Amino acid sequence: MKEVSVIGLGAMGATIAQLFLDRGWRVTVWNRSADKAAALVARGAVLAPSAAEAFRAHRAVVMCVYDYEAASAILALKGVAAAADGRLLLQLTTGSPQDARDAQAWAQRHGAAYLDGAIQAAPDQMGQPDTPVLLSGAAQARREAEPLLSVLAGNVVDLGEEIGAAAAMDLSTLSYVYGAILGFMHGARVAESEGFDVARYGEIVAGIAPAFGTFLQHEGKVIQSGDYAVSQSPMRISVEATQRLLDTARASGINTEFPAFAAGLLQRADAAGLGNQEIAALIKLLRA
């Protein structure tokens, strides 16, 4: 049966409920503020009178609320624990690996199957062939949830049984994204302080992004293998590049925080004798 309860009707939860309705599913919804359900009810969703009733309505329950504090508050509402017995809870609220482990323990205590997913897309990017969602949890539950997930995301990255994996990989990729954003912003200051078109800079960055992704993929393999012998260019090149960024920022009188941080790390790696290894050897400094 194509039927599901969706708990949480913020920007993402409402989009999720709408996608199920669009595909002809029977959809029950619940939100702390019931008024947010009105548009979905007008399109055919049923508003459950309580979170417990939303759990009772269907075998599959998708939850997507602000954070795990909100999710835990909902799971603690009257009648929810009893209603969770025999349910499949797909938790799409963003959280930490420990949040996922705690939620799985709660589900196990109350007889529910549990999956943890991390959405890596904005609401209007949901339901597309390339929409990325990281997923972890028991194999049987992952198989059962396939029809649900196929409505929401074409690019479900299956991370296996360890329940914290989706949240961990979400954090890892967030770290990459914010590192890139900080570097991009400093680059924008370099470009504008030299009088160059920042939109053009953005185009150039987009052009090199795929090759940079391939490079990072290689560095991940190097770290995993533990073989840091230089395949193309030694870390020393990056030591010099980040120092040049810092020197230029100082000379131009622009903000130096990002290059100072990057150059500082790379200089310490060089001082630790890693300069002639692959840049992936920076991980050794971070592990120390």
Which residues make up the interface to ligand NAP (CB under 6 A)? 8-13, 31-33, 36, 64-67, 70, 73-74, 93-94, 119, 122-123
Q: How far is the CB of 137 from ligand NAP (least distance, A)?
A: 17
Is there a contact between 9 and 39 (Cβ–Cβ < 8 Å)? Answer: no
In whole angstroms, the minimum distance from the beta carbon of 99 to ligand NAP comes to 10
CB-based contacts of 48: which residues, under 8 Å, 6+ apart? Answer: 5, 28, 29, 30, 54, 57
Q: Shortest approach of ligand NAP to residue 80 CB, angstroms?
A: 11
Residue 31 or 238 having the CB closest to ligand NAP? 31
Length of the chain measured in residues? 288
Cα separation, 26 vs 161, whole angstroms: 29
Residue 113 and residue 144 in contact, taking contact as beta carbons nearer than 8 Å: yes
In angstroms, give the least distance from the CB of 76 to ligand NAP.
Answer: 10
Mention every residue, 6+ apart, whose C-beta is less than 8 A from residue 175.
none
**Shortest approach of ligand NAP to residue 211 CB, angstroms?**
27
Q: How far is the CB of 92 from ligand NAP (least distance, A)?
A: 6
Q: What value, to the nearest 5°, has the Cα angle with vertex 54 and ends 48 and 56?
A: 120
Q: Which is nearer to ligand NAP, 101 or 284 (CB)?
A: 101
- 3, β-bridge pairs: 26
User: In 3D, which of 80, 96, 73 has the Cα closest to residue 5?
Assistant: 80
Q: In the structure encoding, which two tokens stand for residue 269, read together?
A: 């790696």
Least distance from ligand NAP to the Cβ atom of residue 95, Å = 7
Q: For residue 93, give the DSSP letter.
A: S
Q: Which is nearer to ligand NAP, 15 or 242 (CB)?
A: 15
Cβ proximity to ligand NAP: between 18 and 93 the closer is: 93
Residue with tokens 């029977």: 26
| Closest CB to ligand NAP among residues 93, 242 | 93
Alpha-carbon span 52 to 76, nearest angstrom: 10
Distance CA 193, CA 187 (A): 10
Give the nearer residue to ligand NAP in terms of CB position, either 27 or 65: 65
CB-nearest residue to ligand NAP? 10
Residue 40 or residue 235: which is nearer to ligand NAP going by CB? 40
